[in-house]
Amino acid sequence: MSIQSVKAREILDSRGNPTIEVEVWTNEGMFSAKVPSGASTGIHEAYELRDGDKSRYFGFGVLKAVCNVNNLISPILKGMRVDNQKAIDDKMIELDGTKNKSKLGANAIVGVSMAVARAAASIKGIPLYRYISELAGNSNIRLPVPCFNVINGGKHAGNRLPFQEFMLVPHGAPNFKEALRYGSEVYHSLKEIIKERYGIDATNVGDEGGFAPSLSSPDEALTLLVDAINHSGYEGVIKIAVDSAASEFWNPKDSQSYDLDFKNTSSSHSINSLNNGEQLLSKYVEILKKYPIAFFEDPFGEDDWENHSKITAEIGMKIQIIGDDLLCTNPERIKKAIAEKTVNSLLLKINQIGTLTETIEAAKLAKDAGWGCLVSHRSGETDDHFIADLVVGLGTGEIKSGAPCRFERLAKYNRLMKIEEELEKAHRANGNLFEFAGDDFYHF
């Protein structure tokens, strides 16, 4: 079960940008992982190492990170047992020696960490989700509710919609397979409605498979989703979620103002587009009154702790307030947020922190605090479906991996359907218990 060598190579992600594939070689064979990459990234994320060589991929190459895996990480891991995840992850963190993994690159470290877990699970003869559940000490194996990003705005789209993602959350489905069907049907209904109201060119899809029609206000997007849900017959069964990615339109130097018209390239922005924290909070409260909202993600800027605390105090007893850029899957920031009651849920991204061990630690902190925990993909993805096993192994109950469209997104959802089949078979054969999170998705 010992590592013989570790090898990395430069590949392309779903946006056509370079990323890393890592192979871990043992006497039992080779086990690989592919690393995702975000576009809307928090400043507190672990450091993604890029080459900066403008003659290749406009400076976005990852050959330095590849070299770090092949020449620095591989020698120190040689001979270590693949089933000692924490020791391996700690060894890489020690070798890096920086607070944000900027020496080796979090993209180098996380690829190795993921591939090592795959190797250990295979050699032990158990599915990856079972192995992760063992590492996490979790006995609550359950399938998550999928959160489909079907309308894009913010940094992910060329329209003037300020909020980045509008999602469908089929919490009322009886199982994961049906939840995926519900989401797919509403997605196709939404496509027809958008085509009718905005024209066929408005049904082109963005990085995560969502549509980006010419919208300028959140109400327009939310109304479209309600109409598509009702048209498909899923009223009361599917809720809506909003990822504002508010750091993209937050100006902390200007009295903490938020410019909801930040994508307007003209020199004169509408005075109505500028909101302080209190005004933006009022908009969220109004949205919650009018629409079936499941959660708000990143409703304020990544260091706007005060307004995150205010919205959590005001409506956090009704819905999830999820921290992404605010927390960056970082245990230290999560502890601060727990102590100050800043949010009530964590967005979990393995490449934000850089190792599986730290990811599990972050999830445990959220669970112990009584928070929800939403496992997430990145906008730059691959066909690797590691996070599907991660969400089941941790039992967090919710996952977002884009629209039910584009193969790099569907790879995760299709893997979850296969896991559900495996669990159903084990239940029939041995009575092994598992569940679909359903209406209880926000309880971890």
Active site residues: 208, 349
Place of tokens 């591989």: 74
The packing angle between helices 356-368 and 106-124, to 10°, is 90
243 annotated as belonging to a binding site for a ligand: yes
CB 19 within 8 A of CB 13: yes
134 annotated as belonging to a binding site for a ligand: no
CB 374 within 8 A of CB 346: yes
13 annotated as belonging to a binding site for a ligand: no
The packing angle between helices 128-136 and 386-394, to 10°, is 40
Phi, psi at residue 30, to the nearest 5°? -110, 140
Sequence letter at residue 175: N
102 annotated as belonging to a binding site for a ligand: no
324 annotated as belonging to a binding site for a ligand: yes
**Rounded distance, CA 39 to CA 222, Å?**
24
**Cα distance between the two ends of the chain:** 33
Pick the closest to residue 166 from 235, 230, 238 (CA basis): 238
* Rg value, the chain, Cα: 21
Q: What is the DSSP string of 366-383?
A: HHHTT-EEEEE--SB--S
Counting Cα atoms < 13 Å in the Cβ hemisphere of 367 gives 16
Question: What distance lies between CA 267 and its chain's CA centroid?
Answer: 34
Beta bridge partners of 167: 149, 241
400 annotated as belonging to a binding site for a ligand: yes
Burial label, 425 (beta-carbon count in 10 A; 0-12, 13-18, 19+) = exposed
Sequence letter at residue 221: A
Sequence letter at residue 233: G
297 annotated as belonging to a binding site for a ligand: yes
**Rounded distance, CA 164 to CA 246, Å?**
8
Pairing of strands 435-436, 142-143: parallel
Pick the closest to residue 366 from 401, 400, 392, 337 (CA basis): 337
CB 380 within 8 A of CB 50: no
Pick the closest to residue 169 from 297, 55, 279 (CA basis): 297
**Rounded distance, CA 393 to CA 357, Å?**
13
378 annotated as belonging to a binding site for a ligand: yes
Binding site feature residues? 156, 165, 243, 297, 324, 376-379, 400
Binding site feature residues for Mg(2+)? 243, 297, 324
Binding site feature residues for substrate? 156, 165, 297, 324, 376-379, 400
